[in-house]
Amino acid sequence: GHLLFGRQRSLMALPFDAQSLTAIGRERVVAEGVVSRAAVGSALQLMDFSVAADTVAYRVAGRLETIIVRNWV
């Protein structure tokens, strides 16, 4: 599997072994320009993306984008 996370305005994917709980490869950019916003009362930034089954949905400049994640990284 992969761990998805945000770095600045990029959506990143890190290959991950759920059995050993370790990274098994290098992180890669999945999408750039992803919308992020400050969490209320915090210095944290929240990135607008969601994962379900084999699809990642995210917002770029007000429009919804999707990626089908079969053999994608």
- For 51, other C-beta atoms within 10 Å of its C-beta total 13
| Cα separations in angstroms, 72 against 9, 23, 40, 66, 68 | 20, 17, 33, 12, 8
8-15 mean pLDDT: 88
pLDDT at 28 exceeding the cut of 70:
yes
- pTM value surpassing 0.85: no
Listed in sequence order, the residues at least 6 apart from 55 whose beta carbon sits closer than 8 Å to its beta carbon are: 66, 67, 68, 69
pLDDT at 72 exceeding the cut of 60:
no
Distance CA 52, CA 9 (A): 21
pLDDT at 73 exceeding the cut of 70:
no
Q: What pLDDT sits at residue 34?
A: 87
Q: What pLDDT sits at residue 26?
A: 94
